[in-house]
Amino acid sequence: MINSEGILKNFKGIIDSTLREGWQFSNANFTLQHHLDIYQLLAEIGIDYVEVSNPVKEEIGEMIKALVKTKSQNTSSTKLLAHVRNRREDIEKAIEAGVDGVNILCTADPERIAFLKFKPAEYLSSLEENIRLAKSSCLETRVSAEDFFNQPFDFILDIYQLATQLQVNRLGISDTVGKALPWQVEEKIKKLRRRFSVDLEVHFHNDFGHSISNALAALAAGANWVDTSLLGIGERTGITPLSALLVNLYSLDQEIASRYNLPLITRAENYVAEVCHIEVPINLITSINNGFAHKAGIHLNALINFGPHKYEPIPPSLIGNRRQLIVNSLVSGRTTEKDVNEFLKRFGES
């Protein structure tokens, strides 16, 4: 059973992947300046780690070096992690770029391993060499298994066992195709937690709409770190939205959420929406147009007579947003502009 006590006990932090996973969103064409701006916003929010793309491509490597320089100049505590393949050249480029750590992506897919011209034992041997190379350069190291819920579990365990023996910082669990359900997540994470004591990091895609529920289920079952992106953007339907995770943590325990600068969330997600030339999705609480818009007569009546708490899960100002009261529509009942003005005198827009 998912319980808040487990979530609060296990949660250690957030690894935001807007500059890696988010960059893979069809409308995201991030320039160097966008990278610098997004990193700065995430650092100001207080995100623990920012994941960037693979520096093996020269242009990306130069962007990452610029981020490393900015981080150093601003003495930011938000660390940079490069997402790399299980290849020596990728690790070497990450070392050259000066990042704080690497997230090594592995596959347990027999077809993929055969395509790479490896036998399973050879693939593990390659992984061992690459982990040792990363750790010899004092890089924090995470090893993840792509498409965790649909690939041979025994070989995934072999990957994780090797990584654990080599004392990596985290094991990564990815729902790459986005169709895992919360009870499946809970079951698998519990199995991993019983077997491994190392930190667990989860990465949930949102194809079936479960990314935030799966993240919470994973935390309750023993995971420690959650991958997010601003707006939840990424491949296809994206991953766990940063805003959704943070407001859920806030609703469970205000103290744990106070580690993060919540009033900046709306600004950050709206900035990314502007860069991507899209609207903030209507289902995100950081939507200025919809996040706190009240239109139905029964809602307006309750807000005006009893206060915003009747129909708002959190105050809009908590995340830097504002409320709207919409009248003069067929569904707005008898509420008038005068009623709205009186309400605003009492409660304001936030």
Contact between 34 and 61 (Cβ < 8 Å) = no
Determine how many CB atoms are found less than 10 A away from the CB of residue 154. 9
C-alpha to C-alpha distance for 18 and 273, rounded to whole angstroms: 12
Q: How do strand 49-52 and strand 324-325 relate by DSSP bridges? A: unpaired
Residue 34 a catalytic site member: no
Contacts 24+ apart (CB under 8 A), 273-276: 273/231, 275/28, 275/30, 275/34, 276/25, 276/27, 276/28, 276/231, 276/233
Contact between 38 and 19 (Cβ < 8 Å) = yes
- Give me the catalytic one of 35, 83, 299, 309: 299
φ, ψ dihedrals at 22, nearest 5°: -65, -35
- Cα–Cα distance list, 265 to 2, 119, 180, 242, 244 (Å): 26, 46, 27, 8, 10
Query: Which distant-in-sequence residues (6+ apart) come within 8 Å of 349 by Cβ?
Result: 316, 322, 323, 324
The Cα angle at residue 316 between residues 209 and 343, in degrees rounded to 5: 130
C-alpha to C-alpha distance for 201 and 99, rounded to whole angstroms: 19
Active site residues: 299
